[in-house]
Structure 1
Amino acid sequence: MKCFLLIFLLISAFGELSGRSVHRAKKRQVDECEALNATPEECSAYWAGEKPPLLVVSLDGFRPDYLQRNVTVNGVEEPAALLLNRLSRCGVFSPTGMTPVFPSLTFPNHYSIVTGLYPESHGIVANSFYDPDLNASFSLSSPQQTNPTWWIGDPLWYNVKRQGKISATCFWPGSDQTDPVRAPNYWLQYDDTVTYSERMRLVFDWLILPVSQRPNFVTVYLDEPDHTGHGESPDSPLVADQVRIVDQELQALFDNMEQVGILGCVDVIVLADHGMAPSPPGEKFLIMNDYVPNILNDARIYDGVFSTIRPKLDTEEEHDRIAGGLQCQDDNMRVYNKWDFPRRHHYANTNRIPNILVDMTVSWRAYAKSEWILRGNHGWDNLNNEMQAMFVAHGPSFKKNLQVRPFHNIDLYNLMCAMMEVDPSPNNGTWGALHHMLVSPPADPSPEPLTPISKLPFPADEATYNEHLMRKTCSLLTGSNTQSIDSTLNLTESATNAALQMHTPWGTPQTKDTTQIKTVISTDYVTAFDVVSGLPSWTSFTINQPRLTTAQPQWRLDVRLEETHASICDRFPDGIDSTWSVVPLFPFDTPSNSADVAVDTNAIEISKPFETYWNEFHAMLNRSVETNGETNVIVGPVRDSPSPGLFFVVSTCRSNGVALADCPVDQLDMQSFIMPTNVRYSRDCIKFTAFFNAHLASLPDVEHLTGIRFFPALPYGDKADILSRTPLASTLLVNPDPSTL
């Protein structure tokens, strides 16, 4: 079906629009940005009491730096993207781009943009994959891709439609599924013979329909410059030629809107799904069959820049045989059990993702048996600079001349819902994360009330002290309790308040269940302890100078816990074997209170191989403190997961001499990590820097995984600012771009 064929009589619609007062005479020569704008008075007839229409244009594989590419016209070099550069100067622009979801592929990212969901949640986990529950395969060319069973979650066009508004899509992935209820009001079956000009003409025709038929939400997809980037390499001058073509098509749409007087009356987002990196033929690839003979016969494999392997014999031994044959064969190939895969990828929690994942350094590929040739590709770690996606926005709802830092593309869904006053479905984004882009953002929701966490006091008398010493012990506890040693835990009220102010400068982190979580407060750190499971929930401390890590503590009972409270001895009543180590969450020796480190509420178990990463992380933290000064660290275990781990949230203030609690949010520097502590594969060959880089996380990643709410005392807008940051926002401890390793 051709895009320019409509079921509406567009001539009459155009006539109706032209007769309105919204039609303006051609603008005089004015400032380049002013010419793109319109006043509410000029747009009021077109809007007819509705919010401005929202148009989203996807230019597949458009890297942010493509805006700097030039073409030669009549012997003169000029920017290839004249209009897009103009929009970037006049509207909202992310110079380093928008961060795609992992894997950085076309279908997963397009569907994440319109659902706000990660691929593990919306089901489109790659461009091609197998579902063992359906016993069927999904691919771009298969008729299966229109089956609604594959597509999970509520795409925005469905939210718009079911809430009484109108949606239209031209070739957006997922819009041509066969469920008429969930389909947009206007949509087309994908047809790559429909020209870009025809697609843009259709968009224009939709935008000038009578208001009762006009879409509130419109999307259109163009497959360049992705196609040329694959075939010729992203470094080819032919990419700039395609940038010029798509820019001119967009300019033609803007010219048409100007002719009928609606330029500046439509909100426009121009974005990409991902970037592109070189994949040089004949080099930078590995053949998996060289390491695991007959691997194609033994497993279902989707290979290339990122590989998934599903052994046909579904046993732990077979998984270990295949993964073991691949692990540590090359520094550019990392083999994971999916539950150990970096949590920031959100790539585990569905049967559509098999247990063995092969992650490659950017530009490297792993093939099952033989290379397949593409000069450019994508799908690698979404923090790679080359994988970032272009983002530009302009229109009456957007601020002018605003540059923004990188953000997660899943946060666009909530932004677009807010712009159209559409209620969002449950999603993985953060409400308010991108409201700073808007001229008139929705009011911040009421902050969640802070729930006080009960403090475990020091025993009030000797009888209570002795009663607390009756708690379960085990061979792990080799230290002795004496009242003189334990007395350092007995803080006055003023000392308690000082410790809380020092070590929890943005409020005490909040947990969902406060009935079994209690705080134990020491001079040098604060811990929230689960007295039922016997695990610390989190430990928070602030240091302002490098400190030596403590020697192996002589663990002893924390006498603030009552006799019925659980601790590490309830998990290891017979002691611990040689595959584990017990380490202190607050790990530093202190001049006056070193004994406080050795209480069992400060103890956590980690696998023996992880101990080297643990020690290196704290050495790295000390180096950072030496450079950056006062630093707050919140650390705790990751529970309720098939792969045990630890999280870290590390924060400092870029403004010298400003206390952490008083640090302006734009000066607050933070990096978060979620580290698996018992990695199944490749643990002996991943270097420290690569490990820490891989296991960076955003703050929402940590909050969602742990159920802990950090920075609870910050105003909602400041907290949303922090939640909107991708790992690319900070280099506090490690450089987040994997390509720099």
Structure 2
Amino acid sequence: MRLAAFATLAATALLAACSHVPSQAPQDDPIVLMIGLDGLRYDAIDRWDAPNLQALAERGTRPERMIPVMPSKTFVNFYSIATGLYPEHHGMISNSPWDAAAERHFNNAEGSPQDPFWWQGEPVWITAERQGLRSHIMFWLGSESPVDGDMASVWHPYEHNKPYDERVDEVLAWFDAPAGEQPRFAAVYFDHVDTVTHRAGPFTPEEGQAVAEVDRLVGEIVDGLEERGLLDRTNIIIVSDHGMSAVSTERVIRIDELADLDGILFEEGMGSYGMGLEPFLMGYGSEEDVNRVYQALQGADPRIMAYRRQDYPDHWHFDHPDRGPDLFILAQPDWLITTSSTDLSNPYHASLHGMHGYDNRAESMGATFIGAGPVFPQGTRPTAFENVNVYGIIACALDLEPAQTDGDPAEIARITGGNCPAE
């Protein structure tokens, strides 16, 4: 039964990690450590050598893939993982949403990552804090913003260039603190695979090197937990936000050559650099203008589909009341949308060989989930599941009373082999 619905590229350097009053915890209480590996396709560790990730899968569970929410973008999905909510309920419907009611555009440089206006729902670190468990978070989407004044015990403004080994060192240092100051829930984010495969594309040697690097980092974290005597009571959860599809400037659709776009505001064109190469466009305008463009695009090119707000497929779940677009134009995987003014010879565009954001049920958008620890059965490979169930798995592992989410208790029970029974 479905429960009731309800990287950043720049950040301020003015805030340091923030701390709350520590709570005491028994030495054998369970721990959850969630590691976010941006852009790690569901099949990447089958195609490349990843001994540490494979070892976690062998002693735990690895579903065949994790289904991202729509659209299959980073901010959208890492926040759905954190809250257990679809974008229509948590409000982060793209990497830089437009709120039509407030006429506001999410902007990293203007402090949007710290602004509670953009981040709705209750992230799992807030659930933990409100029930007396410390949470330490490094660079997870949404962790910079308070929820009714509450934040994780430790959190950081995003630093894209913070060396990965320093991230590992700090995570392990959290567990060197006195017992009452250690986290019961911890999370850390690594962008590496996504950053590399946007440029090189999936199925390339560069992807393999990136997978090897994050596998090394995961191995160091696992070894560090074992050295500290914490591995047996730690549930390690590996998640990615989406997969990756191979793209090229030879597979581009110039949308303004198919329809007159006057009167439509496209969120993707609102940034400093204008329209780039996109897997989709979110448009806002009057009913008349939306219908005109929608009709012009019907059958105009088989590689794109246009949807009006009332026509979205049921499985998308991103029709937020204030931020859902009036018109959504979606390319097929491997294709990109732009306008005739875009210079495809620009080195930034020309070097783009990987993209995500396509239909969340597309196989190439499949994400990774690996869970190893007390709450997970050993060596299982369940069928695919939706990422809105991760919150519930974490809540169960920590014996938390969950907030209302879009997760399915039956799915949570299935992925955990019945260790989190549906009630």
TM-score bracket for the superposition, by shorter chain length = 0.7 to 0.9
Q: Does 1:63 align with 2:63?
A: no
Q: Which of the residues 327, 333, 343 maps onto 2:304?
A: 333
Structure with larger RCO (C-alpha < 8 A, sep 6+): 2
On the 8 A contact 1:52/1:267 being kept in 2, the answer is yes
Compared CA separation, residues 141 and 284, structure 1 to 2 (3 A): farther
Query: What is the letter of the counterpart of residue 291 of structure 1?
Result: L
The alpha carbon displacement at 1:436 in A equals 3.4
The alpha carbon displacement at 1:142 in A equals 4.5
The alpha carbon displacement at 1:309 in A equals 1.1
Q: Which of the residues 382, 403, 409 maps onto 2:381?
A: 403
Q: Does 1:153 align with 2:121?
A: yes
Compared CA separation, residues 67 and 140, structure 1 to 2 (3 A): farther
Q: Which has the larger radius of gyration?
A: 1
Q: In the TM superposition, what whole-angstrom CA distance separates every residue of 1:508-567 from its partner, at most 9, and x where no partner exists?
A: xxxxxxxxxxxxxxxxxxxxxxxxxxxxxxxxxxxxxxxxxxxxxxxxxxxxxxxxxxxx
Q: Does 1:285 align with 2:263?
A: no
On the 8 A contact 1:296/1:368 being kept in 2, the answer is no
The alpha carbon displacement at 1:53 in A equals 0.7
The alpha carbon displacement at 1:396 in A equals 2.2
* CA–CA distance in structure 1, aligned partners of residues 264 and 372 of structure 2: 52
Q: Which of the residues 364, 367, 385 maps onto 2:338?
A: 367
The alpha carbon displacement at 1:327 in A equals 2.1
User: Which residue pairs with 2:367 in the alignment?
Assistant: 389
On the 8 A contact 2:244/2:355 being kept in 1, the answer is yes
What are the ranges of 5 or more consecutive residues in structure 1 without an aligned counterpart? Answer: 9-45, 71-78, 446-741
Q: In the TM superposition, what whole-angstrom CA distance separates every residue of 1:98-148 from its partner, at most 9, and x where no partner exists?
A: 000000000010010011100011000000221122211014555223211
* CA–CA distance in structure 2, aligned partners of residues 98 and 136 of structure 1: 32
The alpha carbon displacement at 1:442 in A equals 4.4
Q: Does 1:305 align with 2:301?
A: no
* CA–CA distance in structure 2, aligned partners of residues 182 and 359 of structure 1: 37
User: Which residue pairs with 1:82 in the alignment?
Assistant: 51
User: Which residue pairs with 1:206 in the alignment?
Assistant: 174
* CA–CA distance in structure 2, aligned partners of residues 130 and 6 of structure 1: 29
Q: Which of the residues 55, 60, 84 maps onto 1:91?
A: 60
| TM-score, with length taken from structure 2 | 0.87
Q: Secondary structure, in 3 states, of the residue corresponding to 1:386? A: helix
Q: Does 1:323 align with 2:301?
A: no
Q: Does 1:253 align with 2:221?
A: yes
User: Which residue pairs with 1:101 in the alignment?
Assistant: 69
The alpha carbon displacement at 1:255 in A equals 2.0
Q: Which of the residues 189, 194, 219 maps onto 2:157?
A: 189
On the 8 A contact 1:308/1:357 being kept in 2, the answer is yes
* Structure 2 counterparts to residues 272-671 of structure 1, below 5 A: 272-281=240-249, 283-293=250-260, 295=261, 298-302=264-268, 304-311=278-285, 314=286, 316-369=287-340, 370=342, 372-373=349-350, 374-438=352-416, 441-445=419-423
Q: Secondary structure, in 3 states, of the residue corresponding to 1:93? A: coil
The alpha carbon displacement at 1:86 in A equals 1.4
Q: In the TM superposition, what whole-angstrom CA distance separates every residue of 1:57-78 from its partner, at most 9, and x where no partner exists?
A: 00000012110234xxxxxxxx
* CA–CA distance in structure 2, aligned partners of residues 390 and 214 of structure 1: 27
The alpha carbon displacement at 1:397 in A equals 2.3
* CA–CA distance in structure 2, aligned partners of residues 255 and 296 of structure 1: 57
Compared CA separation, residues 7 and 334, structure 1 to 2 (3 A): closer
* CA–CA distance in structure 2, aligned partners of residues 198 and 84 of structure 1: 20
The alpha carbon displacement at 1:210 in A equals 2.2
On the 8 A contact 1:108/1:125 being kept in 2, the answer is yes
The alpha carbon displacement at 1:297 in A equals 6.5
* CA–CA distance in structure 2, aligned partners of residues 182 and 363 of structure 1: 41
Query: What is the letter of the counterpart of residue 56 of structure 2?
Result: L
Q: Secondary structure, in 3 states, of the residue corresponding to 2:231? A: coil
* CA–CA distance in structure 1, aligned partners of residues 145 and 365 of structure 2: 28
What is the count of residue pairs matched by the alignment?
391
On the 8 A contact 2:263/2:289 being kept in 1, the answer is no
On the 8 A contact 2:280/2:337 being kept in 1, the answer is yes
Compared CA separation, residues 142 and 388, structure 1 to 2 (3 A): farther
Query: What is the letter of the counterpart of residue 289 of structure 1?
Result: D
| TM-score, with length taken from structure 1 | 0.50
The alpha carbon displacement at 1:180 in A equals 7.6
What are the ranges of 5 or more consecutive residues in structure 2 without an aligned counterpart? Answer: 1-11, 269-274
On the 8 A contact 2:83/2:121 being kept in 1, the answer is yes
The alpha carbon displacement at 1:178 in A equals 5.0
Query: What is the letter of the counterpart of residue 75 of structure 2?
Result: F
* CA–CA distance in structure 2, aligned partners of residues 356 and 335 of structure 1: 7
The alpha carbon displacement at 1:49 in A equals 5.5
The alpha carbon displacement at 1:7 in A equals 8.4
User: Which residue pairs with 1:111 in the alignment?
Assistant: 79
On the 8 A contact 2:412/2:420 being kept in 1, the answer is no
* CA–CA distance in structure 2, aligned partners of residues 265 and 420 of structure 1: 11
The alpha carbon displacement at 1:355 in A equals 1.1
Query: What is the letter of the counterpart of residue 364 of structure 2?
Result: E
Q: Secondary structure, in 3 states, of the residue corresponding to 2:238? A: strand
On the 8 A contact 2:266/2:281 being kept in 1, the answer is no
The alpha carbon displacement at 1:263 in A equals 2.6
User: Which residue pairs with 1:455 in the alignment?
Assistant: none
* CA–CA distance in structure 1, aligned partners of residues 82 and 42 of structure 2: 21
* CA–CA distance in structure 1, aligned partners of residues 25 and 235 of structure 2: 12
On the 8 A contact 1:127/1:139 being kept in 2, the answer is no
* CA–CA distance in structure 2, aligned partners of residues 440 and 320 of structure 1: 48
User: Which residue pairs with 2:99 in the alignment?
Assistant: 131
* CA–CA distance in structure 2, aligned partners of residues 237 and 340 of structure 1: 40
Q: Secondary structure, in 3 states, of the residue corresponding to 1:212? A: helix
Compared CA separation, residues 234 and 141, structure 1 to 2 (3 A): farther
The alpha carbon displacement at 1:264 in A equals 2.5
User: Which residue pairs with 1:628 in the alignment?
Assistant: none
* CA–CA distance in structure 1, aligned partners of residues 18 and 284 of structure 2: 46
Compared CA separation, residues 298 and 271, structure 1 to 2 (3 A): closer
On the 8 A contact 1:414/1:432 being kept in 2, the answer is no
* CA–CA distance in structure 1, aligned partners of residues 186 and 148 of structure 2: 18
User: Which residue pairs with 2:31 in the alignment?
Assistant: 53
Compared CA separation, residues 297 and 438, structure 1 to 2 (3 A): closer
Q: In the TM superposition, what whole-angstrom CA distance separates every residue of 1:660-688 from its partner, at most 9, and x where no partner exists?
A: xxxxxxxxxxxxxxxxxxxxxxxxxxxxx
Query: What is the letter of the counterpart of residue 390 of structure 1?
Result: T
User: Which residue pairs with 1:173 in the alignment?
Assistant: 141
User: Which residue pairs with 2:9 in the alignment?
Assistant: none
Q: Secondary structure, in 3 states, of the residue corresponding to 1:336? A: strand
Percent same amino acid at aligned positions? 28
Q: In the TM superposition, what whole-angstrom CA distance separates every residue of 1:332-357 from its partner, at most 9, and x where no partner exists?
A: 11111122110111122422112111
The alpha carbon displacement at 1:305 in A equals 0.2
- Tell which deviates more after alignment, 181-190 or 136-145: 136-145
On the 8 A contact 2:17/2:156 being kept in 1, the answer is no
Q: Secondary structure, in 3 states, of the residue corresponding to 1:92? A: coil
Q: In the TM superposition, what whole-angstrom CA distance separates every residue of 1:691-726 from its partner, at most 9, and x where no partner exists?
A: xxxxxxxxxxxxxxxxxxxxxxxxxxxxxxxxxxxx
On the 8 A contact 2:91/2:320 being kept in 1, the answer is no
* CA–CA distance in structure 2, aligned partners of residues 68 and 403 of structure 1: 13
Query: What is the letter of the counterpart of residue 305 of structure 1?
Result: P
Q: Does 1:263 align with 2:231?
A: yes
Compared CA separation, residues 140 and 101, structure 1 to 2 (3 A): farther
Q: Secondary structure, in 3 states, of the residue corresponding to 2:229? A: coil
* CA–CA distance in structure 1, aligned partners of residues 420 and 45 of structure 2: 31
